[in-house]
Copies of this chain bind each other. A is one copy, B any other.
C-alpha cells in the first residue's frame, strides 16, 4: 500500500500542485510503526456512518477509536457496531476531554460546514490531528484560523478531498502529465443533483451557501487538479428560483469560467436542481472524459481525439477505494511525519475561489482577479 502510493506520486510528476502538495521525496520504513492510528468520528450523520465508517474495515493504517455525537442512541448503536467503549464516546459538551484519550490520533470532522472551524480548532487544541470534510469552512478567515490552530498545535490538517485518492481521477491527471492529450486547452466540469427539501445544506447559516458549497466544489476542485494549475480569474453567473421553497436562503445554480496561467480556460457548473457528474479536459491532441466523474463508485473514463472516445480502465488507486486511500493517507503522513496532499491550504484555495465566484455572481458576472 505505501509503496503503491509512492509509485503514484512519482508517476504524477512535479507539476500537480493540488495533488502533489507535501509529498516527501523519501521516507524511512523504520519510522513507520505498524499500529493503526485511531480516528474519532465527529458527527454521526449519513456520510459518516454509511459511507466512511464501513471503510475502516478495509484500512491498513486506520481504525475508529472514538465517536462524538449529540444523540446518545447513535453513540450506543455505533459504539457497539465498531467496538468503541463508553470511555471513548463523547458529546459536544465534553468533546474537549478527547485530549486525554490516547486511543485518538485524528479527529474527523463530518459536521455541517459552519461547525468545521470550531471543531477543527478544538481538536487541534486537544492535541489531535484533524481530517475535516470539504468545503473546509464558510469563510476564508475561518480557514486561516483552522490552519493557524493546527500549525500552533504542531498537528496535521487534511481536508476530505476523496477524489484525490480515486483511481480514475488520478489516472486522468497522470495521462495529462504524460502528454496523452497534448497541451491542455480547455477543462469542463459539471456537478449537480436535485436536492431534497429540509436538509441543513439549504440553511445558509449552516451551509455557508448553496450548491457551490456542496456539490459544486467537486467541479471547481476537478478543474484545478486536472489542469494542475491555479486559476487567475473567475466570472460567475447564478440562477435561483426564489419561489422554490428550497432556495429561500441559498443559491441553486452557479456557472463560471476560470482562466489559468498556461492559457487553459474552463467552464464549470454547480446545480441543486439538475443532475450532472462530469469532468473533461481537452488538449490539442485529444481529451479525457470521466462521467460519472466523482461518484462513490462506478466511474467511467474515456480517452478520445475528436468525436468518439475509447473506454479506459485505470490502474488501482492508493487504497482499495477512494475512502480507504484518503483515511490511510493521513495516517501514513502522521506516521512518517510528512505533509499530506490535501492540506488546509488546499481547502483554503477552493474557499477563496468560491468567495470570488459569489462576489462575481452578485456583481452581475464581473471578472474577479484571483
Contacts and interface: CB of A to CB of B under 8 A. Distances in A.
Interface of A: 185-186, 188, 190, 192-194, 233, 235, 237-241, 252-253, 255-257, 259, 263-269, 271, 273-277, 282-287, 291-292, 295, 298, 304-308, 364-367
Contact of A237 (B238, B257, B276, B295): B257
B239 A263 contact: yes
Contacts of A304: 275
A306 B277 CA distance: 8
A252 B192 CA distance: 29
A269 B268 CA distance: 11
A301 B305 CA distance: 19
A253 B257 CA distance: 12
Given A235-B237, A237-B265, A264-B239, A275 B307 contact: yes
B267 A267 contact: yes
Contact of A286 (B264, B275, B367): B275
A269 B186 contact: yes
A263 B277 contact: no
Contact of A274 (B185, B295, B298, B364): B185
A238 B264 CA distance: 10
Contact of A269 (B188, B192, B285, B365): B188
A287 B275 contact: yes
Q: Which 10 A-B pairs have the closest CB atoms?
A: A274-B282, A275-B306, A185-B274, A267-B267, A239-B265, A365-B367, A292-B307, A235-B365, A239-B263, A273-B284
A271 B185 contact: yes
A212 B16 CA distance: 31
A252 B186 CA distance: 11
